[in-house]
Copies of this chain bind each other. A is one copy, B any other.
Amino acid sequence: MTAQPHILVVDDSRDIRDLLVRYLQTHGYRATAADGAAAARRILKTNSIDLAVLDVMMPGEDGLSLCRTLRSEHDMPVIMLTARGEEIDRIVGLEMGADDYIGKPFNPRELLARIGAVLRRANSLPRKARASDTKRIRFEKWVLDTAQRELVTSDGVAVPLSAGEFRLLIAFLERPKISLTRDQLLDLTQGRTADPFDRSIDNAVSRLRRKIEEDPKNPRLIKTVWAGGYVFTGDPVAA
């Protein structure tokens, strides 16, 4: 996680979403809102989120079901929002694996304290080694050795990757054939948002292409999406 943790707020009420997002942003967090479980899943596909704040009661798929996914698939801390007094919800929420809950209406400072506490706990404990921490991933003629942070061809040539190149490549490999904007790539690789004239992603892509593309002038693995960022077109498979 980087200096500014990224919080995902999921609530069907626009008022609460906006209020929370603004409040979190003025207190040192990046915040993104989703109006329901579907939107939340969409955002999770292309953004790196450090913690989620979920409303329990939402039309359609409810917060509990989403919470289960977040915990099991993304290993992500979750704080639930619940109407005051609904003890059953709280209990079920905790049993479902939420890290904390807070009753509505809530004291914003208390929410901040809880977010801080949950994040601190998540970071102080060793993170569960993620798939990308141990696997080897094959794509085209390359095998990415994630432990050694280097690329190897089948004939044994090893190409070391810098930290930035490695993070960028992982971001692509985990989202093949999905077009990613510069903002999303910046979020995924560095957990920050773009300056108005940010060219760092262009540069990072350029440098990565020089290492993995047969002919960097005619890239085949990382294609440019005009006015839309980049897309990785390879077929990564665990190896």
Residues of A within 8 A of B (CB): 87, 90-91, 94-95, 97-100, 107, 109-110, 113-114, 116-117, 120-121, 124-129, 133-134, 147-149, 162-164, 174-178, 220, 223-228, 233
When distances are taken between beta carbons in the complex, the residues of chain B under 8 Å from A94 are: 110, 113-114, 116-117
Contact of B90 with A177 in the complex, beta carbons under 8 Å: no
When distances are taken between beta carbons in the complex, the residues of chain B under 8 Å from A116 are: 94-95
Contact of A91 with B120 in the complex, beta carbons under 8 Å: no
When distances are taken between beta carbons in the complex, the residues of chain B under 8 Å from A220 are: 148
A-B contacts, 13 of them at CB < 8 A, read: A90-B113, A94-B116, A97-B120, A124-B128, A125-B128, A126-B129, A126-B174, A129-B177, A133-B177, A147-B233, A148-B233, A163-B224, A163-B225
Measured in the bound complex, the distance between the Cα atoms of B87 and A134 in whole Å is 43
Chain B, residue nearest A225 (CB): B163
When distances are taken between beta carbons in the complex, the residues of chain B under 8 Å from A224 are: 163
Measured in the bound complex, the distance between the Cα atoms of B102 and A91 in whole Å is 12
Chain B, residue nearest A232 (CB): B147
When distances are taken between beta carbons in the complex, the residues of chain B under 8 Å from A127 are: 178
Partner of A162, one of B100, B177, B178, B226: B226
Measured in the bound complex, the distance between the Cα atoms of B220 and A176 in whole Å is 28
When distances are taken between beta carbons in the complex, the residues of chain B under 8 Å from A133 are: 177-178
Measured in the bound complex, the distance between the Cα atoms of B187 and A120 in whole Å is 15
Contact of A90 with B110 in the complex, beta carbons under 8 Å: yes
Measured in the bound complex, the distance between the Cα atoms of B176 and A227 in whole Å is 27
Question: Can you list the 5 inter-chain pairs with the closest CB atoms, starting with the nearest?
Answer: A163-B226, A94-B117, A91-B113, A94-B113, A133-B177
Shortest CB–CB separation between residue A107 and chain B, in angstroms? Answer: 6
Given A94-B117, A116-B95, the answer on whether A163 and B227 have CB atoms closer than 8 Å is: yes
